[in-house]
C-alpha cells in the first residue's frame, strides 16, 4: 500500500457506526420495563384496596340465611303450613329475559 500513511502491519481503524442502533433498543427496553414495574405495583395496590373491604371467604359457612320452611301435602301441590319469621318467597328464574305478559 504505497499511498497510505498507515504503517504496514496496522489494521483498519474501526468506525463506530451502529452506536445508536444498539443504544435505542436498550433504552426502549429499559423504559418498557420501568413502565411495566410501575403498572404492576399500581395494579397490585388497587387490588389490595378492593380486597380490603371484602369479608373473609372462610366465614361463609357460618352465615345462616333465614329462609322459611314450608310443609306440603303428600302430593306436593297444597301448602299446609309455613314456618319461619321472615316473609320471604322463592321466585323461579324466567328464561324469557324478563318479558312480562
Domain around 75: 19-83
pLDDT digits (tens, 9 = 90+) for 71-95: 899 998 898 988 877 777 777 887 7
Q: Do residues 84 and 68 lie in contact, with contact meaning Cβ atoms separated by under 8 Å?
A: yes
**Could you tell me if residue 64 is inside a domain?**
yes
- pTM: predicted TM-score of the whole model, two decimal places: 0.41
**Could you tell me if residue 4 is inside a domain?**
no
**Could you tell me if residue 66 is inside a domain?**
yes
DSSP-derived letter for residue 14 is P
**Could you tell me if residue 6 is inside a domain?**
no
* Residue 57 pLDDT > 90: no
* Residue 53 pLDDT > 90: no
13 vs 62, more confident: 62
**Could you tell me if residue 100 is inside a domain?**
no
pLDDT digits (tens, 9 = 90+) for 7-48: 665 566 666 666 778 889 999 999 999 999 999 999 999 999
**Could you tell me if residue 69 is inside a domain?**
yes
Total number of domains in the chain: 1
**Could you tell me if residue 91 is inside a domain?**
no
Amino acid at each position: 500500500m504505497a499511498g497510505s500513511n498507515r504503517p504496514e502491519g496496522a489494521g483498519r481503524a474501526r468506525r463506530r457506526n451502529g452506536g445508536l442502533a444498539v443504544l435505542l433498543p436498550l433504552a426502549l427496553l429499559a423504559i418498557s420495563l420501568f413502565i411495566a414495574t410501575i403498572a404492576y405495583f399500581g395494579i397490585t395496590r388497587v387490588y389490595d384496596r378492593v380486597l380490603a373491604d371484602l369479608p373473609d371467604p372462610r366465614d361463609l359457612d357460618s352465615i345462616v340465611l333465614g329462609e322459611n320452611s314450608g310443609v306440603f301435602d303428600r302430593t306436593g301441590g297444597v301448602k299446609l303450613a309455613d314456618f319461619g319469621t321472615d316473609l320471604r318467597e322463592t321466585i323461579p328464574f324466567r328464561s324469557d329475559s324478563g318479558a312480562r305478559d
